[in-house]
């Protein structure tokens, strides 16, 4: 397989470690730390595959997914994030991502997701309902997606102070149960 992988990740250490692990598997990689650099790298590098972090400085990783999916030919895209939510997973797939992986994910898991053509239907369904904290997180993510990632508009819609919303978003999401 002649894979050219664009890694869109603001955590330089993680991106470099992933690039090293994949280069040992004879995969060409390029790195971009934000949405603007991702667009430039995609023009220059012409990736066949991409790993995109959801939370980037400036534009959301979802905008990068949409930009990459609009390219012809479109690369296979996997969204990788430490801020996983059902809403952002659905939105990422709707915009053109092939898969959505929560961090931490290793190079083997990422490579498997990039090369798998269909989503994994073997996802476990939790026997317990979501916790109140997780329900709040999911609702915030849904409203944030409805407002195209605009924190101020989301805070107004939730009738919440903007800084309070930012603090909630900066925390890792609560466990599902």
111 and 155 co-located in one domain: no
* Pairwise CA distance, residues 147 & 164, whole Å: 17
Going residue by residue through the chain, which has 177 residues, state the pLDDT in tens, using 9 for 90 and above. 588 999 999 888 889 999 999 999 999 999 999 999 999 999 999 999 999 998 888 888 889 999 999 998 999 999 987 766 777 788 888 888 888 888 778 888 898 888 876 654 333 444 555 677 777 877 888 788 778 888 899 999 999 999 998 888 887 776 665
- pLDDT attached to residue 31: 95
Backbone φ and ψ for 51, nearest 5 degrees, come out as: -115, 120
60 and 86 co-located in one domain: yes
151 and 84 co-located in one domain: no
Containing domain of residue 35, as a range?
Answer: 4-115
59 and 107 co-located in one domain: yes
Q: What is the CATH number of the domain that holds 148?
A: 1.10.10.60
* Pairwise CA distance, residues 30 & 51, whole Å: 10
Structural domain contains residue 175:
no
47 and 18 co-located in one domain: yes
108 and 165 co-located in one domain: no
Three-state DSSP state, 103 = coil
110 and 142 co-located in one domain: no
45 and 90 co-located in one domain: yes
82 and 151 co-located in one domain: no
146 and 77 co-located in one domain: no
Q: How many domains does the chain have?
A: 2
């Amino acid at each position: 397989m002649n894979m050219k992988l664009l890694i869109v990740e603001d955590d330089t250490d993680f991106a470099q470690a992933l690039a090293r692990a994949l280069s040992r598997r004879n995969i060409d990689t390029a790195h971009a730390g934000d949405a603007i650099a991702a667009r430039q790298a995609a023009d220059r590098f012409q990736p066949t595959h991409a790993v995109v972090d959801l939370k980037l400085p400036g534009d959301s990783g979802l905008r990068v997914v949409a930009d990459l999916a609009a390219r012809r030919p479109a690369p296979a895209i996997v969204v990788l994030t430490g801020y996983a939510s059902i809403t952002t997973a659905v939105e990422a797939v709707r915009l053109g991502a092939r898969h959505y992986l929560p961090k931490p994910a290793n190079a083997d898991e990422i490579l498997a997701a990039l090369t798998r053509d269909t989503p994994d239907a073997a996802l476990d369904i939790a026997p317990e309902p979501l916790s109140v904290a997780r329900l709040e997180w999911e609702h915030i993510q849904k409203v944030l997606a409805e407002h195209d990632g605009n924190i101020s508009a989301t805070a107004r819609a939730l009738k919440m102070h903007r800084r309070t919303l930012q603090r909630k978003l900066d925390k890792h999401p609560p466990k599902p149960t």
